[in-house]
Amino acid sequence: MSEAQDPIEQAWIALQEKWDLDEQHRAFVALAAALDRLPDAAGRYRALRDDPERGAEASKGLQRVLGAALATLSPDRHTPMAPKTNYLLAAAALACLWIATPVVAKILQRPELAQPWVFAFELAVVLLIPWRRLGGRSS
């Protein structure tokens, strides 16, 4: 693309003709942001920072470019809430275990499987399971 066809170059030329208008500066920075060419816009403003007539506006323009660049790096305004542990799933698993344990003990004719320490062990196992990861959510 030649310089004559470059939209940033054309917008820069138009901006220099109406240098004192804030709208022109905003439009130039918006165009550079839309085209992903903020470094080019910053370079043009930086070159004029030391100019006695245009230096103040060039510094403001550089600040606008910086603000636009930071806006592209910012996360979305809607930050997701931290996932909550699914206590219902853990309680259902524990209930299934506590119902199945005496049934299995009866079927196998092993009454020692229905002792309180077995239920305490099952509770400990259920509490140690990383439920957030199992639900497809990272913790």
Interatomic CA distance for residues 138 and 68, integer angstroms: 32
DSSP 69-80: HHHHHSPPSSPP
Give residue 138's pLDDT.
47
- Structure tokens given for 82: 């931290």
Give residue 3's pLDDT.
62
Give residue 86's pLDDT.
72
Query: Model confidence over 14-51: pLDDT tens digits?
Result: 999 999 999 999 999 999 999 999 999 999 999 999 99
- Structure tokens given for 129: 């399971």
Query: Model confidence over 55-103: pLDDT tens digits?
Result: 999 999 999 999 999 888 766 666 666 666 678 888 999 999 999 999 9
| Alpha-carbon separation of residue 51 from 2, 41, 47 (angstroms) | 27, 16, 8
